[in-house]
Amino acid sequence: MEYLISSSSSSSSLSPSTSDSDPDHSSRFRRHRRDKDQRRRSDRKDSKRREKDDKERRIREETETEIDNQGKRRRQYLILTKMEIRPRKRDLGFSLKPLS
């Protein structure tokens, strides 16, 4: 808020400026205030959206890692269970062949 300084004989005092000096002041102030509130609201929404996106991304990454680890364990298990040692006829050695 603007103040006009008026000097009296003994001391100077501060008094709020009247709308006569600046008729547009109150509307400018309201507009400024409204814009400021809207910015604050949008910033709050953005931060909430960012937090939500970060949380979803973190969960997705953890899930993908877990799925990947499960896949690796599953593949190792399938390799170990589906392969069987059978003697070869030619060299009487051993070979890994899938069960079918």
In a domain? residue 88: no
Residue type, 24: D
In a domain? residue 24: no
Contacts of 21 (CB under 8 A, 6+ apart): 2, 4
Strands, E assignment, 1-100? 3-7, 12-16, 83-87, 94-98
pLDDT band at 13 (very low <50, low <70, confident <90, very high): very low
Of all residues in the chain, the percent with pLDDT exceeding 90 is: 14
Tokens 């507009």 sit on residue: 31
Question: 67 lies in which domain range?
Answer: 48-82
Reported as a single tens digit per residue, the pLDDT across 16-43 is 554 455 656 788 888 889 999 899 999 8
For the four alpha carbons of 14, 15, 20 and 22, in that order, the dihedral sign comes to: positive
Contact 6, 18 (CB under 8 A): no
Distance, CA of 94 to CA of 53 (rounded, Å): 54
In a domain? residue 75: yes
In a domain? residue 68: yes
In a domain? residue 57: yes
In a domain? residue 8: no
In a domain? residue 25: no
Q: Which two tokens stand for residue 56?
A: 């979803």
The total of structural domains in the chain comes to 1
